Amino acid sequence: MLKNIIKPLLVIILFTCLLLPQAIAQKKVALPHGMVYGTKPLTTGLMPASKLEDFMGRRTRTSATISGKVLKVTKSKGGWFLLDADSGRVIQAHFTNYDIKLPVQLKGREVIIEGVAAKQFIADDQQHMAGDTVVGKKQHAVKTDPKKRLVFEVKGLIINK
């Protein structure tokens, strides 16, 4: 009679041990529309992320409010993420306040961000000062990487869609 009780009891314990961790594990929580990280962005001068580079023109830094789709949250602590700027271009964005923690579930969501956009310049052959006195063909040109041309320091983010 004892064997008849132990066998089903072991089966129940085994299934409980296998299924309980999955039931307790964190489930992906949908991020609600309008959730704010940092300060709430002002939407008065809102523009799509694809037009930011044209808006900047020859300026190297400018304040702006843009909307775009998050491609990937690269580092949750500090709020580092990549924003789609269309045509294969990507805007690297991070919060000025390092205490912000962005959830990974932000990937694929449309957001509105406010902050300072800056162009990233890279000298040819990584020679920044070596060619200052050289002129002509040997002069080093300042180039930018077309894929990682803009950096955005975010002050505030709101989930749009």
- What pLDDT score does 148 carry? 53
Residue 143 lies inside a defined structural domain of this protein: yes
Residue 14 lies inside a defined structural domain of this protein: no
Residue 77 sits in which domain range? Answer: 30-131+138-159
Q: What is the pTM of this model?
A: 0.66
Residue 144 lies inside a defined structural domain of this protein: yes
Residue 147 lies inside a defined structural domain of this protein: yes
> Tell me: the pLDDT tens digits for 85-144?
887 888 888 888 888 888 888 888 899 999 998 887 765 555 555 555 555 555 555 554
CB atoms under 10 Å from CB of 152, counted, come to 23
- What pLDDT score does 132 carry? 55
Tally of domains within the chain: 1
> Tell me: the pLDDT tens digits for 32-63?
777 888 888 888 888 898 888 888 888 888 88
- What pLDDT score does 49 carry? 85
Residue 43 lies inside a defined structural domain of this protein: yes
Residue 137 to residue 20: CA distance in whole angstroms: 70
Residue 88 to residue 95: CA distance in whole angstroms: 23
Residue 3 lies inside a defined structural domain of this protein: no
Domain CATH code at residue 72: 2.40.50.140
